[in-house]
Structure 1
Amino acid sequence: MASLNARHGTRRRTINEINMVPFIDVMLVLLIIFMVSAPLITTGVVDLPTVGKAARQPDRVIEVVVGADDVLRLRVDGKEDAARITLKELAARVGALQGGSADAPVIIAADRNVRYEQVVKVMDTLQRAGVQRVGLAVKATGT
């Protein structure tokens, strides 16, 4: 038989195909392993901060209003000061309104069209001035 192949000059050729059966077998085994182990994985719990109710209303609320044109104004106890202030004047004005008490709350209220960078600059200026309680005003939407 070997002489017959040698006489005719036929040779076995290699097959250039990928055998997919072992690949599919491995994928099915991995799929089963993941399906069995998925319910056993414990999910992480994220503790989000909650908004608590204050025991009493603060004596004085100072609000820094950042307008859409990056103009700063001050509002004390709901009464808005008509004068514009600069970022450099902000620390001195807030310090004077706090009356030496660094614990008086300061709230930053910004228009929705204000760049976030401007709000961060206001927060940084207040922090450098020694203001300890700085908050952000949020507008609650009813759904």
Structure 2
Amino acid sequence: MALIARARKKRKPVAEMNVVPYIDVMLVLLVIFMVTAPMLNQGVKVDLPKVSSEALPQDNNTQVLTISIKADKTYYWNLGSEVDTEKQQDKAMTLPQMTDAVTKIIRAGTEGGKRTQVFIRGDKTVDYGSVMGAMGGLQKAGVGNVGLITEAP
């Protein structure tokens, strides 16, 4: 009799959900997205608006360094909030020379307890590579943030 009583006990149904098929589907979707993502168009052609803005507030603990790039890919630097184009004409330099000069200026400012704000003034006919070269040189010099200067419309 004891054997019959044990055989008649009902087993409880398993209430767990099998998630392995869902994981397989997710991995397949992940692979599909990874393959198709580089094929997507990353940008569209846009006409950038001309905007006017107010000058940034200055504090006494900040020095302003302006890098100017002319159409002939010569670089100039100016320390101070006002850019004197007459004085800059005799200081034309190449990108490596500009990077060295900026590195020295930033080190001197840091040792003096000043923060350096760097801005780039690029001629509208300068190619994108020259501006990016200047930004790369500034990054090597230790500049984290760079502002771009434009003219008001």
TM-score of Structure 1 vs Structure 2, range by shorter chain: 0.5 to 0.7
Partner amino acid for 2:143?
Answer: V
Q: How does 1:1-143 map to 2 (within 5 A)?
A: 53-54=56-57, 56=59, 59-77=62-80, 78-79=83-84, 80-81=87-88, 82-98=90-106, 99-101=108-110, 103-141=115-153
How big is the alpha-carbon RMSD for the aligned residues of Structure 1 and Structure 2? Answer: 2.5
Distance 1:68 1:104, change over 3 A: same
Structure 2 unaligned spans of 5+: 1-52
Same amino acid, percent of matched pairs: 25
State the Cα distance separating 1:132 from its structure 2 match. 2.1
Distance of aligned partners of 1:88 and 1:105 in 2 relative to their CA distance in 1, 3 Å threshold: same
8 Å Cα contact 2:62-2:117 kept in structure 1: no
Bigger Rg, which one: 1
- Is residue 121–residue 150 contact of structure 2 (8 Å, CA) maintained in 1? yes
List alignment gaps of at least 5 residues for structure 1: 1-49
Of the two structures, which has the highest relative contact order with CA contacts closer than 8 Å and spacing of 6 or more? 2
Q: Deviations over 1:13-32 (max 9, x none)?
A: xxxxxxxxxxxxxxxxxxxx
Deviation string, structure 1 residues 59-115 (Cα, Å, up to 9, x no partner): 421111000111111122224432111111122201222314283011110000100
C-alpha contact 2:76 2:92 (8 A) present in aligned 1:
yes
